[in-house]
């Protein structure tokens, strides 16, 4: 029972830290997509 409790605590901690980092990753991902689409539309407009 103690092992299960320790594992669940570790999983909860891991999930919370992971959700925090994934939040910033999502922001970076959106920024990259936005800039990528701007660059792509510029290239398409030139042609």
What's the predicted TM-score (pTM) here? 0.40
Which pLDDT value is given to residue 4? 60
Count of the separate structural domains present in the chain: 1
Please report the pLDDT score of residue 12 as a whole number.
Answer: 67
DSSP letter for 47, please: -
1-47 tens-digit pLDDT: 556 666 677 766 666 666 666 777 788 888 899 999 988 888 787 77
CA 29 – CA 33 distance, rounded (Å): 6
pLDDT reported for residue 19? 60
Domain, as residue range, for 22: 1-47
């Amino acid at each position: 029972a103690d092992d299960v409790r320790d594992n669940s605590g570790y999983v909860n901690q891991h999930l919370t830290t992971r959700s925090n980092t994934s939040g910033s990753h999502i922001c970076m991902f959106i920024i990259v997509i936005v800039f990528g689409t701007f660059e792509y539309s510029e290239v398409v407009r030139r042609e």
